[in-house]
Chain A
Amino acid sequence: MAIAKAERLMNLALCLLGTRRPLSKRELRESIEAYLEAGSDDSFNRMFERDKDDLRELGLVIETVESLDGEIGYLARRDSNRLPPITLDAEEAAALGLAAKVWQQARLAGAASGALQKLRAAGLPEDVDPYGAHSALEPRIPVHEAAFEPLMLACRDRRPVVFDYRKATAARPESRNVEPWALECWRGHWYLAGFDRDRGAERVFRLSRITGRVRSRSGSYTAEVPDVVTVRETVASWAGEIADRSARIRLRTGAGYPLRAKATAVRELGDGWDELDIPYGHGLDAWLVEFGPDVVVLEPAELRADVVDRLRAVAKG
């Protein structure tokens, strides 16, 4: 029976961590049963390279050293692999315990648990009553978008990508060449900010609109990555949350609570209607139309025209 991969990785890690001098591939092969059983040199070499990559993903710093006689050796030095001293009190430990459960994405959930386990091994206090004080709060970071993981890795490793993207009103997707900068989750949806090579400018993409696979491109970034990337402000402005104007509407008494909650002024007209001043940002017309006959836009005329336009489309059915 083939030897389990976790066993093989564990053995390689222990060999590299346990040695003070670089070990050659030959020595490693002789010490690790799975490599002896690997058959041909080719398949051993491929396996070995993959395993080294996997251990590096786990955080192991593996050095490659060439000896005087030209032989390549490998080792994981203690001083580059040791966790620096870290002391956390019970409250801080509980806080991290809560944070470690937040991800709903397999790779990051595994990484967060792994981080907590490393800290436990380093003496992180254990909860006497696990999450007792916090059981009332359950934050979760949802990740439903298939494009998330490849884009996360691309951002991390600074790899340009290409993907098909369907703009909100577009009939079909088109290919976009992007240098990905950062990912941000807002109101449960993930967005990517990056440099769009074809448009020569920064763009924000909604991950749920990416169709098909995210493919890596070779080469490096051509545009400078800004220190601070503000996806959220861009999205918020699209979401109409950045209102620079004001609108005056009539609202039927008792209706439209959320409009009242946003209103800057409410005047009771006494005839079954109230008059409200509300912030006027992008998308207000679509929102007002939802209230049907309970809302009448008074001004500005542009907003009134937009709302009437929308109502006409529905009225015609």
Chain B
Amino acid sequence: MGKPARPANAIDQTRRMLSLVTYLRERPGARVEDVARAFGITEDELISDLDVLPLCGTSFRGGDLLDIDTDGERIWWHNPAALAAEAAEPLRLAADEATALLVAARAVATLPGLREGDRQALLRATAKVETAAGETAGASSRLSVTFESEGGVFADVDRAISERRRLWIKYYSPARDELSEREIDPIRLVSVGHTYVEAWCRRSEARRTFRLDRVAEIKVLDEPSAPPEIELRDLSEALVQPAAEDPEVVVEVGPGGRWVAEYYPHDSAEELPEGGLRITLRTPDPASLRRLALRLGRDGRIVAPQDLADAARQAARDALAAYDELPGGYDEPDAGDGGPRSVHDEPSSYGGPRSAHGGPRTATGGPLGVRERRYDRQEQGL
């Protein structure tokens, strides 16, 4: 792109200071604490803005600089006349600002299961911001975000959290292909593409994260929820972090299996000739990757550990045996070995996201087992 990257903080700080000038002008003696909260910044950030503002004005000469200072508790502006009242009026929204706020608000408003009151508030606010932004709001139609959630489960979890009650769930684990029942004390709902509930699991006495579309049944119990005080996870980091002590798994894939590197957190992904990858990842339970090995078919294979590769091979043989027992057995494919039949799933000539369906996007079908196992594992250490 044409222009060199700019330090984003100078832009953000300027934007903030322009709003601060408007805000402070109306509120002589505003408290540092209150202003920082209203602006969603730390007190230190606010103080650094207040260090710059006295150097700003319509001219650096004479009395034109803004005489703003603070004793660390309150903020005083001694010469508000240095800026004409109309120069301190609230500023219109920039295209990026309107886009960022509108796209996010629309996305949240579409979350299935959101309380109707919250949804209505979001929609009203969105409409008002659209009106205020005027034509700059138009750019926001170029971006859209959908959060996935199970509305009924979401609503029950939301209610349990607000009423501080325990939940009983029947939960599907793809790694083991089984349902298990447990009681959980829900802490919060997190939507990152899919929606998860972060909770204290009473069965394992540990923090666990459950994906809502894998909750087969849910009941809000009468018992109060009492999760222990735990530090909330920092959501700016990936939901899954590798655990150093977990066994290593090595997978080699062809071009058709590159999606594995997009869906599984891994230590390394080495390019192989002809567009393949050699992916090294770690999981507390390598057996849970049998699903992956089966799904990959001829697009990839497990290199290590050997018993995982053997287990996948055995599972495939057992599965094939069932076809032999079917009436009429199974017809040899015409193309014989290497037939192109199912190698290429590409549904069309699109250059698009074929492995959209290779990955764990289907409601519960994806090979996400390992991710959540790993996540669970990580949580146990906390």
A274 an interface residue at 8 Å Cβ cutoff?
no
Measured between beta carbons, the chain B residues less than 8 angstroms from A183 are 142-144
Partner of A118, one of B41, B90, B172: B90
- Take A104-B236, A156-B139, A311-B319 as given contacts and tell me if A13 and B18 are in contact as well, using a CB distance cutoff of 8 Å: yes
Q: Which residues of B contact A238 (CB under 8 A)?
A: 347, 350, 352-354, 356-357
- State whether B132 touches A138 (Cβ < 8 A): no
| Residues of the B chain whose Cβ atoms lie less than 8 Å from the Cβ of A316 | 313
Give the contact stretch, choosing among A65-73, A201-209, A263-271.
A201-209
Query: Min CB distance, A145 to chain B, in Å?
Result: 10
CB distance from A206 to the nearest CB of B (A): 3
Known: A102-B108, A114-B15. A315 touches B320 (CB 8 A): yes
Can you pick out 19 interface pairs between chain A and chain B where the beta carbons lie within 8 Å of each other? Answer: A9-B14, A53-B3, A58-B94, A92-B122, A103-B100, A118-B91, A118-B93, A120-B39, A121-B22, A141-B145, A168-B358, A169-B346, A206-B352, A241-B362, A290-B365, A295-B319, A308-B333, A313-B297, A317-B309
- Do residues B11 and A168 form an inter-chain contact, with CB atoms below 8 A? no
Contact with B along A1-30 (1 / 0, CB 8 A): 001111101110111011100000000001
Q: Which residues of B contact A110 (CB under 8 A)?
A: 8, 11-12, 15
B104 touches A102 (CB 8 A): yes
B6 to chain A: which residues have CB within 8 Å?
Answer: 54
Q: How many residues of A contact B (CB 8 A)?
A: 160
Q: Are B356 and A239 in touch, CB under 8 angstroms?
A: yes
Q: A171-B255, A187-B148 are in contact. Are A314 and B22 (CB under 8 A)?
A: no
Cβ contact within 8 Å between B90 and A258: no
How far apart are the CA atoms of A126 and B38 in the complex, in Å?
A: 6
A317 to B364, CA, bound (A): 27
Q: Which residue of the partner chain, among B52, B59, B147, B316, contacts A314 with CB atoms under 8 Å?
A: B316
Note all chain A residues with C-beta closer than 8 A to B21: 14
Complex alpha-carbon distance, A284 and B319, angstroms = 16
Chain A residues with Cβ under 8 A from B361's Cβ? Answer: 187, 239
* Residues B146 and A182 in contact, CB atoms below 8 Å apart: no
Most chain-B CB neighbours within 10 Å: which of A32, A102, A306? Answer: A102
A7 to B188 CA separation, bound complex (whole angstroms): 40
> Is B1 interfacial (CB-CB < 8 Å)?
yes
CB–CB B124/A92 < 8 A: yes
A83–B189 CB distance below 8 A: no
Q: In this assembly, does A255 line the interface, its C-beta being within 8 Å of a C-beta of chain B?
A: yes
B362 near A121 (CB under 8 angstroms)? no
Nearest neighbor of A138 in chain B, beta-carbon distance = B190
Which residues in A have their C-beta under 8 angstroms from that of B301? 317
**Contact A84-B131, Cβ < 8 Å, known A168-B259, A310-B342:** yes
Roughly how many angstroms separate A123 CA and B252 CA in the complex, as a whole number? Answer: 58
Is A292 within 8 A of B294, CB to CB?
A: yes
Taking a contact as CB atoms under 8 Å apart, the answer to whether A108 and B145 are in contact is no
Q: Does B86 contact A (CB under 8 A)?
A: yes
Distance to closest chain B CB from A43 (angstroms): 15
A88 touching B275 by the CB < 8 A rule? Answer: no
Q: Please name all residues of chain A whose beta carbon is closer than 8 Å to the beta carbon of B186 when the two chains form the complex.
A: 136
Contact A78 B15 (CB under 8 A): no
Query: Which parts of A81-126 form the interface with B (CB within 8 Å)?
Result: 81-88, 91-104, 106-123, 126
Q: Is the CB of B339 within 8 A of A120?
A: no
The interface residues of chain B lying within 8 Å CB-to-CB of A19 are 58
Q: Which A residues are in CB contact (< 8 Å) with B168? A: none
Q: Check A277 for interface membership: any CB of B closer than 8 A.
A: no
* A10 contacts B52, C-beta separation under 8 Å: yes
Query: How many angstroms from the CA of A182 to the CA of B140 in the assembled complex?
Result: 10
**A contact residues around B40 at 8 Å (CB):** 97, 100-101, 113, 116-117
Residue of chain A at shortest CB distance from B66: A14
Nearest chain B CB to A164's CB is how many angstroms away?
11
- Is B209 part of the binding interface, using a Cβ–Cβ cutoff of 8 Å? no
Contact of B382 with A by CB under 8 A: no
Check B19 for interface membership: any CB of A closer than 8 A. Answer: yes
Among B100, B235, B367, point to the contact of A115 (Cβ < 8 A): B100
A205 and B17 alpha carbons, distance in the complex (Å): 39
A32 to B351 Cα, complex, angstroms: 52
* 4 residue pairs, one from A and one from B, having the closest CB atoms: A188-B193, A59-B94, A171-B275, A258-B364
> Do B363 and A187 touch (CB < 8 A)?
no
Check A189/B105 contact, CB under 8 A, given A14-B56, A317-B309: no
B207 in the interface, Cβ–Cβ < 8 Å? no
- B107 adjacent to A96 (CB under 8 Å): no
Q: How far is the CA of A91 from the CA of B126 in the complex (A)?
A: 12
Please report the C-alpha to C-alpha distance between residue A118 and residue B193 in the assembled complex, in whole angstroms: 29
Q: Decide: A99 and B105 in contact? CB cutoff 8 A.
A: yes
B228 at the interface (CB under 8 A from A): no
Q: Which of A5, A135, A204 contacts B350 (CB 8 A)?
A: A204
Query: Which of B190, B216, B259, B315 sits near A293, CB closer than 8 Å?
Result: B315
The answer to whether A130 touches B12, judged by C-beta atoms less than 8 angstroms apart, is no
Give the residue of B131, B331, B358 whose beta carbon is less than 8 angstroms from that of A283: B358
Contact B100 A6 (CB under 8 A): no
Complex Cα distance A50/B317, Å? Answer: 66
With A58-B14, A187-B361, A257-B364 given, name 17 new contacts (CB 8 A): A5-B7, A112-B100, A123-B90, A139-B190, A150-B1, A155-B142, A167-B351, A183-B144, A188-B194, A189-B193, A214-B1, A255-B178, A290-B365, A305-B333, A306-B341, A310-B342, A315-B316
A138 touches B188 (CB 8 A): yes
Known contacts A92-B125, A99-B108, A188-B192; A293/B235 CB under 8 A = no
CB-based contact B339/A309 at 8 Å: yes
Interfacial chain A residues near B52, Cβ < 8 Å: 4, 6-7, 10
Contact with A along B41-57 (1 / 0, CB 8 A): 10000000000110111
